[in-house]
Structure 1
Amino acid sequence: MTKLTTTQSPGADGPNGPHVFSFAPNGDGFLLNGKPFQIRSGELHPARIPVEYWLHRIQMAKAMGMNTIALYVMWNYHEMREGAFDFQSDNRDIEGFIRLCQAENMWVLFRPGPYVCAEWDLGGIPSYLLKHPDIRLRTDYASDARYMRAVERYIDELVPRVRPLMAENGGPILMIQIENEFGSFDSNPAYLEELRQLWIRGGIHGPFYTEDGLVQLQQNLSYVADGAIALSNGNAAQIDAVRKVFPSVPAMAGEVYPGWLTHWGDSVFQGTSVDLSATLDELMRKNQSFNLYVIHGGTSFGFYAGANVDVDSDEYQPDITSYDYAAPISEQGVATARYMAYRSIIARYLSTPLPDVPAPIATIPAMDSNGVRRLMPRRYASLWDNLPAALPLADTMQPQPFEMYGQAFGFVLYRKKLARYAGGALDIGDVHDYATVFVGDQYAGAVSRARVQEDLASPRKIMRRRPVALPDASSRQQEAAVLEILVEGMGRVNYGHSMIDRKGIVDPVVIHDASGASEIPDGWEVVLLPMDASFIESLRPVCSRPNKPGMFFVATLPIDAVGDVYLDMSEWTKGIVWVNGRNLGRYWHIGPQMRLYCPAPWLKPGDNTVLIFDLHQTEAKPVSLASSLS
């Protein structure tokens, strides 16, 4: 792996302050120390980038002509348990990231939410708030004080970290964004002002700005007092248009999209045809400020990829693991052809030459003398031999969503001992989000909330929103049987009015017997399976039921030197991959993503352990190595 150092120390023209960043009196742009200043920003998300690559990605943005880095802070990435914050470990050190920007003479646009969207689980809002049945999100104290008290605690954690990093205090932060695209959600000036006042109370008086689509901004007036306006999907024409409506307020193209997000089941990766050459050329020619969303997307490692609900069809649309976004800097940090084209456009308008493009990160060869390199995993452990103790529920209680048990991510097993079993069909309603069903050790089928091609003819028996046909009862089962429903919670909805998106079983479970009678059973046991690091580390290599789906597989990846690599999971069905204990994210055979990115810092010379959990497969399949996403 290439070792990187900062390319220069902060100079008098860089963010080594103190500096005065302000708005021109007539709203005609931004001023730095009283002089006109163009913000040329590229968006990076520290939570989606290994900490060892932060500097490389910042330098890549700088070499494309950016002078600023915009970054979201994902609240739920830092408050993983209620009241317990982490701003130090691994890639959660936001202060460290901002100081790296400063060391590279890069300014910062700080976007802390509390809601960020970002195709991130629940838009960055912690899921523990969903334990309240009547919770309201993104609203003021009067409407839901529980939400705002949690926001207040979050901002109070940020304030002492952010205050020294503001430009007026010698840091690189130019502006702080208040909420995010609120005009697409509601009209509530009181809420936005309450957020602004939380920062002011902490001694940070701005500058502030908001981010919205032009139409939504005009409809809902979702700006803040004395704040600038940033426009989603913005360009020079939209900046000109908003200046006519708000002539005294500076405006910028706050999110200029090089591509778009991708859902599981999409036919192709979205946004690959977007060419921003003309947009960037006009912004540069008019000396207007902008932020590329995203200049580099990175990866939604672990369980953090979000989801949408289609406004027309009401379809649940979970996001893939990769956040490549067709960005000019690819998921693995490579300068694409579009990167080089945009760099040339921007360079034409600058008086000093741009720094050289950083060397690409080394990759592990996907080919050897025998052709494509493939790993051959072996069966390692059964989930059913590694179940934690169940949480007993009162006999009258129905299964509850994850959040009611204090679990954010992973899986939950709902188990019911049936005194009499006669087959029939099982209706688990609008399951959130993917369930596999068993009677004893016999697999009955799977139900997906997301749109899938139904697969009733194969042993997988995957269907969507319909009852699962239960196996016929044997003479022994007619006396007793154990019904098990293993539910995977995928990404929580991160945009729009469907964000109260709890995971697990959210409707009563109904059993329809062969005679047509229906029963809503009670007295369920619940087994929490967050699939976190401690669970993975404690797996016992036992497979007493090798034919029951829900199996872990293991392979060894031997390497002489570390490098980036992709694992091709196209021969597998649906599950998760860990490398040396690091969760690479989800794979799913419906695509379009078939390969998972493993960054070099997560590997070591010698043998590396690849662990796979697949919801369906009981026999191992090969895993091929690749050097790129596609």
Structure 2
Amino acid sequence: MQPISKIITSVLLPALLLGIKPIYAQKQTFEIKNGQFLDKGKPVQIHSGEMHYARIPKPYWRHRLQMLKAMGLNTVATYVFWNYHNTAPGVWDFTSENRNLAEFIKLAKEEGLYVILRPGPYACAEWEFGGYPWWLQKNKDLVIRTNNKPFLDSCKVYITKLAEQVSSLQVSKGGPIIMVQVENEFGSYVSQRQDIPIEQHRAYNQTIQQMLTGAGFTGPFFTSDGSWLFEGGVISGVLPTANGEGNIDNLKKAVDKYHDGKGPYMVAEFYPGWLDHWAEPFVRIGTDEIVKQTEKYLQNGVHFNFYMAHGGTNFGFTSGANYNEEHDIQPDITSYDYDAPVSESGWATPKYMALRELMKKYVKYPVPAIPAQISVITIPDIPLSRTVDLADLKKDIKPVSNDSPLTFEALNQGYGYVLYSKRFTQPLSGTLHLNGLRDYALVYVNGKKVGELNRVDKKYDLPVTIPFNGTLEILVENMGRINYGAEIPNNTKGIISPVLINDFEITGNWQMYSLPLISVPDLQRYPPKNTTGKPTFYTGTFELDKIGDTFLDMGSWGKGIVFINGHHLGRYWNAGPQQTLYVPGCWLTKGKNEVVIFEQQNDVAQTVLKTVEKPVLDK
């Protein structure tokens, strides 16, 4: 046997001469110790900004990460939305364009940013159903967000699939992921669900952490809640962080109580803006207020994560909803601008510039230059050359028949629209009651619009007169499942309770036509038609010799959705406050482009689509 010193010399000396570092010298660590965050044993302050890869077109990921870095931040935090990757039962997607989470994390490392991963399985985030797949509700034995075996079995599948994608990107393995969150704002949920014993809540929360660990996540782990709600959400040995806590004494008091009497102290959600609902004013938070609070954190060594540093967009049907007693539902707008420092389209706002200058005064690392803004264009008025009546598409959809209306979930549909149709053999007049509406409906008798019903305004009734052999049709839209609070488990869509006319239940031979509209339907096979008051598809093409970001002006339209070159931009609604839709330039092409609009109300026939250079979100 050779002496150990000779082995070390013979193996390591040639490697060192070649500039190859020994394996033991490459080990990286990130830990919580002695009230501090330690990166390779050295104290580090976390200055983080939240942005969600799912809300940003992939070609813009690097630009947005560079914007965070140039704001003076050293970390990016992101939720992972279970339903974004588990697109159908048994179907997983971590590779298609916007869903390649691993690539997003690798880009963050290339840009010199740490990553904080927030995998849930519950996310909130004003995202549809808080990130849960809609079909979980089809299992009658499954109880969401509880210590329930069918639910936990589903969570385990998700966490395992996620770990396969990103566990190798943790800092201990050379990646940028420094911390992993367990669940999300669970203390808040505990306070709202006092019908469930606290022991069951704690068992569920601990099981989620065990699943994360068992799948290969090594931590450090953390929880996040309002500081006054820690009791319901803390886990032994896991760092509690406070959301929205501006009082540093309260922050320290709460963390010390549950974490060995010492820090580190972190505000995991520091709100420089706020969320926005349809039919409500757009919320803005002043720059001076945010700069002042940020400086307070910096002066006192408090770690923080701006939620959001950059919000992005709720493309497609991804926006969620809130609930309160005044409104049965508060659906979130398509824009997730959030009045964040980096705007929806990636611009440096005055709030951004003020925070950047503040950070440069305090941080010890270099703050790079602001990346160039992505160019903006306007497009000459786009002629809408063809229209198609939804009634013609209906002819090619095989309906589902049932004695009473079925929910979206019972129809195996997650998003979009369902047309409920019922023929009457006898005339009937009276008040239509649709108390089980989820969430928005247009009502027709013999093809003529007689009114709209709206869960937002608790408008569930309208007069109807149905003639002999007449047809009642109700086009129902899912406006986004509730993503926060005690109503999360009650999230089925469509018509979820009996339809009444004059307090008599209307049963027998309901016909239901599914219209998910996740992608553009084939409209070429239908004749051109446009009837005022009937849901209509408008199509148009336009030519570009240069591309750039732009904004569709939907201010003169009613309610609907828009596709550009097959990309689902999201909803518009004349209820406001959002009046424009963001079109990323990376989704446009030089040469021919196509736009398809599904206009539900269609009270006024449209002939052109206009664009503008700046968004209108607060009108």
Q: TM-score, normalised by structure 1?
A: 0.88
| Cα deviation, residue 422, structure 1 | 3.2
Matched, 1:254 2:254: no
Q: Deviations over 1:234-264 (max 9, x none)?
A: 3444432324423145331100001100100
2:477 counterpart (467, 475, 488): 488
| Cα deviation, residue 544, structure 1 | 5.1
Matched, 1:231 2:251: no
In structure 2, the residue matched to 1:137 is: 144
In structure 1, the residue matched to 2:170 is: 166
Q: Deviations over 1:58-87 (max 9, x none)?
A: 000001111111000111111110121100
SS at match of 1:275: helix
2:493 counterpart (495, 498, 503): 503
In structure 1, the residue matched to 2:252 is: 240
Q: What CA distance in whole angstroms lies between the structure 2 residues aligned with 1:245 and 1:621?
A: 64
In structure 2, the residue matched to 1:67 is: 74
SS at match of 2:144: coil
In structure 2, the residue matched to 1:629 is: 615
Over aligned residue pairs, what C-alpha RMSD do you find? 2.0
Distance verdict in 2 for CA 1:424–1:63, change over 3 Å? same
Matched, 1:265 2:279: yes
2:33 counterpart (24, 28, 41): 24
In structure 2, the residue matched to 1:469 is: 463
Distance verdict in 2 for CA 1:20–1:413, change over 3 Å? same
| Cα deviation, residue 362, structure 1 | 0.4
The one-letter code of the counterpart of 2:508 is D
SS at match of 1:171: coil
Matched, 1:214 2:227: yes
Off by >6 Å, runs of 4+ in structure 1: none
Q: What CA distance in whole angstroms lies between the structure 2 residues aligned with 1:262 and 1:17?
A: 46
In structure 2, the residue matched to 1:338 is: 351
**Structure 1 stretch displaced more, 559-568 or 275-284:** 275-284
Q: What CA distance in whole angstroms lies between the structure 2 residues aligned with 1:113 and 1:435?
A: 33
Aligned pair count reads: 578
Matched, 1:528 2:514: yes
Q: What CA distance in whole angstroms lies between the structure 1 residues aligned with 2:386 and 2:61?
A: 36
The one-letter code of the counterpart of 1:263 is H
| Cα deviation, residue 163, structure 1 | 1.8
In structure 1, the residue matched to 2:91 is: 84
Q: What CA distance in whole angstroms lies between the structure 1 residues aligned with 2:286 and 2:583?
A: 22
**What aligned pairs does 1:91-490 form with structure 2 within 5 A after superposition?**
91-133=98-140, 135-140=142-147, 144-186=148-190, 187=198, 188-218=201-231, 220=232, 222-235=233-246, 236-246=248-258, 247-248=261-262, 250-271=264-285, 275-310=289-324, 312-365=325-378, 373-387=380-394, 388-394=396-402, 397-451=403-457, 464-471=458-465, 473=467, 478=468, 480-490=469-479
SS at match of 1:536: coil
Q: Deviations over 1:293-323 (max 9, x none)?
A: 010000000011110012x425311110000
Q: Deviations over 1:176-195 (max 9, x none)?
A: 10010000001411111111
Q: What CA distance in whole angstroms lies between the structure 1 residues aligned with 2:316 and 2:229?
A: 33
Q: Which runs of 5+ in 2 are unaligned?
A: 1-20, 191-197
The one-letter code of the counterpart of 1:469 is P
Q: What CA distance in whole angstroms lies between the structure 2 residues aligned with 1:297 and 1:194?
A: 31
| Cα deviation, residue 134, structure 1 | 6.0
Equivalent pair of 2:437/2:460 in contact (CA under 8 Å): no
Q: Deviations over 1:141-191 (max 9, x none)?
A: xxx222111111100101122221110111110111001000000141111
**Structure 1 stretch displaced more, 335-344 or 223-232:** 223-232
Matched, 1:583 2:568: yes
Q: Which runs of 5+ in 1 are unaligned?
A: 1-11, 367-372, 452-463
Equivalent pair of 1:444/1:471 in contact (CA under 8 Å): no
The one-letter code of the counterpart of 2:483 is N
The one-letter code of the counterpart of 2:372 is A
Equivalent pair of 1:258/1:274 in contact (CA under 8 Å): no
The one-letter code of the counterpart of 1:227 is V
The one-letter code of the counterpart of 1:393 is S
SS at match of 2:357: helix
| Cα deviation, residue 519, structure 1 | 4.2
More helix by share: 2
SS at match of 1:363: coil
Distance verdict in 2 for CA 1:85–1:17, change over 3 Å? farther
SS at match of 1:298: coil
Distance verdict in 2 for CA 1:273–1:249, change over 3 Å? closer
Q: Deviations over 1:566-597 (max 9, x none)?
A: 00100011111111111111001010000000
Equivalent pair of 2:241/2:255 in contact (CA under 8 Å): no
SS at match of 2:547: coil
Q: What CA distance in whole angstroms lies between the structure 2 residues aligned with 1:272 and 1:120?
A: 25
Equivalent pair of 1:441/1:548 in contact (CA under 8 Å): no
Equivalent pair of 2:388/2:530 in contact (CA under 8 Å): no
In structure 2, the residue matched to 1:572 is: 557
Q: What CA distance in whole angstroms lies between the structure 2 residues aligned with 1:124 and 1:539?
A: 35
| Cα deviation, residue 203, structure 1 | 2.9
Equivalent pair of 2:230/2:254 in contact (CA under 8 Å): no
Equivalent pair of 1:380/1:541 in contact (CA under 8 Å): no
Equivalent pair of 1:430/1:506 in contact (CA under 8 Å): yes
Equivalent pair of 1:570/1:595 in contact (CA under 8 Å): yes
Distance verdict in 2 for CA 1:519–1:191, change over 3 Å? closer
Q: What CA distance in whole angstroms lies between the structure 1 residues aligned with 2:534 and 2:514?
A: 18
Q: What CA distance in whole angstroms lies between the structure 2 residues aligned with 1:593 and 1:198?
A: 40
| Cα deviation, residue 548, structure 1 | 5.3
Distance verdict in 2 for CA 1:273–1:588, change over 3 Å? farther
Distance verdict in 2 for CA 1:327–1:392, change over 3 Å? closer
| Cα deviation, residue 547, structure 1 | 4.1
Task: Give aligned-pair identity as a percent.
Answer: 38
Q: TM-score, normalised by structure 2?
A: 0.90
| Cα deviation, residue 199, structure 1 | 1.8
**Structure 1 stretch displaced more, 613-622 or 406-415:** 613-622
2:578 counterpart (593, 598, 607): 593
Equivalent pair of 2:256/2:263 in contact (CA under 8 Å): no
Equivalent pair of 1:269/1:592 in contact (CA under 8 Å): no
SS at match of 1:52: helix
